Amino acid sequence: MDGVTACLVGVNILISGLILIRKAFSGLMNAADPELLSEISRVISSNRREHWIDIHQLRAWTSGSFVHIDFHLILPKDFSLEQAHTEGKLLEKALQEHFGGEAGVLIHLDPCLDLQCPICARFSCPTRSSESTSMPLWTLESMTSAADSGQD
């Protein structure tokens, strides 16, 4: 093997090693996977119910074939604990079924705030402080953003 060939082989090994290190490091750091987040946002949107006012802080990561999903779901503030739990379980079940049981889903249930009335589709709401103007489309960008409404 001449010097040029040996140098090219060495560069190839170095580049391959850096790629492997980057993949391993991003997995350890729970780097966002845009394709996985898009898939999850599609599942959530396709199962959307009238009472689900908004979703924010969506995060997801994989561990082997298992998917971990974490997000906040805003529900009507007059819901009982039982009603809120039922709505959360419906969404959790839809996500787990989509991933063939290979998903852990953690949903933080948040009560709505008055400033969310314009985006709420619950027209028969006894606590509504203003008219509903539109039910926004849930997008990957809106679901992964932090809440701008004072909710955690």
Q: Where are the domains of the chain?
A: 1-30, 34-144
pTM summary value? 0.70
Beta bridge partners of 108: 72
**Which stretches of the chain score pLDDT less than 50?**
26-29, 149
CA pair distance 120, 44, nearest whole angstrom: 16
Write the pLDDT tens digit of every residue in 33-47. 999 999 999 999 999
Token pair of 150, please? Answer: 């004072």
CA pair distance 38, 72, nearest whole angstrom: 16
Backbone φ and ψ of 95, nearest 5°: -70, -45
Q: Tell me, which fold does domain 34-144 have in CATH?
A: Alpha-Beta Plaits (3.30.70)
Token pair of 2, please? Answer: 């001449």
Amino acid at 10: G
